[in-house]
Amino acid sequence: MTVTLPILCDRFNRFNERIFGGRLPRIPLRVSSAATRAGSFSHRTSRSRSGIVHTRSISISSAFDLEPDALDDVIIHEMIHYWIDLYGPRETPHGPAFRAMMEEINRTHGRNISIRLSATPEASRKPRFVGVMELPDGRTGIVVPVRSRLAAMYRDIPRLFGAVNCRWYVSSDGYFARFPSALKPKLYIPDPGSLKEALAGAREFTISSDRLIMSSSS
């Protein structure tokens, strides 16, 4: 599911009433194309003749293909940041107050919000396309494209990242749910041991003339 501004506004209003008691004043809500994070909360201050001006906003990226529940968790995550900014103590972005509120919301509202992008059981079971490459510096990197961008990334990834070797898999392992499926090439550096374990049940494939061909040996 890709976020749109009407969806974002609807979710903000709904969760503000259900979870935050309607105590979050409306602020600018934006849909971005950021490829590095699914959501962000911003609080900027500036000076005017009347004093200090506070400008707060929430941005959710449309570059990620998320399950509806996972998208909702991202939105609530940023709303927690907003709440802490208004009513909580001054602390690091994911400090004790944030974590306590996140855990309480998860418990009382059946959510699956996390410090990083949430991975719901549904998202964990969703098949994902994973490109695994050996980088020039010897590390192993992966990309996780959405289906609509798979053929283009299959073609372009070696050139973009200078990959020495690139192999592609489709996997339903929950490990890959932590890496948002992206519309733009986004390189992740996973733990080698965890990656090897997650790929144990994956099926390797190639693409020819934009057709996905599963390997007979997988």
Condensed to tens digits (0 to 9), the pLDDT of residues 143-181 reads 999 989 999 999 998 889 888 889 999 998 878 877 888
Q: Where are the alpha helices (H) located in the chain, listed in sequence order?
A: 5-18, 68-87, 96-109, 121-125, 150-161, 192-198
**Residue 184, pLDDT score:** 87
Residues in the chain: 218
Number of domains in the chain: 2
Distance CA 65, CA 47 (A): 39
Mean of pLDDT values over 180-209: 89
14 and 104 assigned to the same domain: yes
Residue 119 has pLDDT above 50, yes or no: no
Strand-pairing partners, residue 39, are 60
Is residue 172 helix, strand or coil? coil
132 and 184 assigned to the same domain: yes
23 and 105 assigned to the same domain: yes
Number of neighbours of residue 39 by Cβ within 10 angstroms: 23
Condensed to tens digits (0 to 9), the pLDDT of residues 133-148 reads 999 999 999 999 998 9
Domain end residue (candidates: 121, 137, 152): 121
What domain range includes position 75?
5-121
**Residue 124, pLDDT score:** 45
* Percent helix / strand / coil, the chain, rounded to 5: 40, 25, 35
The residue among 56 and 201 whose pLDDT is bigger is: 56
**Residue 36, pLDDT score:** 63
Number of neighbours of residue 111 by Cβ within 10 angstroms: 21
Closest by alpha carbon to 33, among 183, 151, 150? 183
28 and 96 assigned to the same domain: yes
Distance CA 198, CA 13 (A): 38
20 and 45 assigned to the same domain: yes
17 and 61 assigned to the same domain: yes
